[in-house]
Amino acid sequence: MPGQVFGHTADGQAVARHVLSRGSLRVAVIDFGAAVTAIEVPDRAGRSANVVLGLDTLEGYETVSPSFGAVVGRYANRIGGGRFSLDGHTYRLPVNEGPNTLHGGPRNFGRRMWRVERSDATSLALARLSPDGEEGFPGNLEVRVRYSLPGEGVLRLDYAATTDRPTILNLTNHSYFNLAGEGAGSVLGHEVRLDADAFTPTDATQVPTGEIRPVDGTPFDFRTPRRLEAHIRDGDPQLAIAKGYDHTFVLRGPAGTLRPAATCIDPGSGRRLDVWTTQPALQLYTGNNLDGTLIGPSGRIYRSGDGVCFETQGFPDAPNRPTFPSAVLRPGETFAATTEFRFSAA
């Protein structure tokens, strides 16, 4: 099914918007950045609203978007110092967040065109070839993401990738959720639970130190539901560095198995999001860098705390942290990961 034209890139490429629908769930995705631009779900009274932040124009996604809804890579999250070593060779990457490389560099996968492989009413398969040397990473990487609606209220993301040279890989979807509705204001009243007993503290540049710290007795303990605002202003040095939550949580259970990772509830609307994933970790990010300069489709500005991200992924800076799970992908191997966003209301 062909999508509707959403706009044209600065170099003239047509970008399409694809709408998937099943029951009360509607999801819009563009083939620039493989970005989710809208997810419409009902509240407890049956009123539907878009529950992800986004922008009105393609130009916004191309120039100023903080990865709204995008699939980012080749390496999601941070690589310290913009460099890593693999098989005795050191690779240098463009830095785009202080001294570090964030999400794979300034022209990461979220700022690239993807090609449509298959499209129907309930699924969309997108792919791209990331050539050897793109943003400094080795190997020709063929990467795919499939969005599908396998059941009522379920948005499923299946990732796959192969390479012709040893490389590193970390993929995630960077949707900013507001279960009260896009443009509804702060999400800090949302109740969140994480299936994680530990997190990875960072240095002053937000790169993990290598420590895996238990959440017990810290503001990072979401093992039972609590509002995001409950401890976000505590005088914890980790919260001060990130201006809120922007940390990797170590998920329970074996990576590679689809298991619960997070639950988020908006008490006002009754909307609920359950996140399931095969990935080893989840980055909880409370939109701390939204500064009022971006305006959403609602016509309302986005400020710090107006969206929350549940970025299922591998560990940040893993190539430089031998104690973290490996992010290396070699020829003959296939990277595969699945995340499900399950929506309901009560």
Q: Which residues are catalytic?
A: 174, 311
Strand order in the sheet with 14-22: 4-8, 14-22, 25-30, 35-42, 48-50
Q: Residue 77 annotated as binding? A: yes
CA distance 295 to 184: 12
318-321 long-range contacts (CB < 8 A, ≥24 apart) are 318/168, 318/170, 319/75, 319/79, 319/84, 319/85, 319/86, 319/168, 320/79, 320/80, 320/81, 320/84, 320/85, 321/208, 321/210
Closest CA to 278 of 260, 296, 298: 260
- Give 318's Cβ-side CA count (13 Å radius): 21
Look at residue 172 and give its three-state secondary structure.
strand
The reply to whether 173 sits in an annotated binding site is: no
Q: Establish whether 246 is an annotated binding residue.
A: yes
Tell me: is residue 91 an annotated ligand-binding position: no
Q: Beta-carbon neighbour count of residue 11 at 10 Å? A: 7
Give the pair of three-digit tokens for residue 306: 């107006």
Adjacent-strand bridge partners of 168: 328
For residue 31 the two structure tokens come to 């083939």
Residue 236 annotated as part of some ligand binding site: no
* Residue 174 assigned ligand-binding role: yes
Binding-site residue ranges: 77-78, 174-176, 246
Binding-site residue ranges for beta-D-galactose: 77-78, 174-176, 246
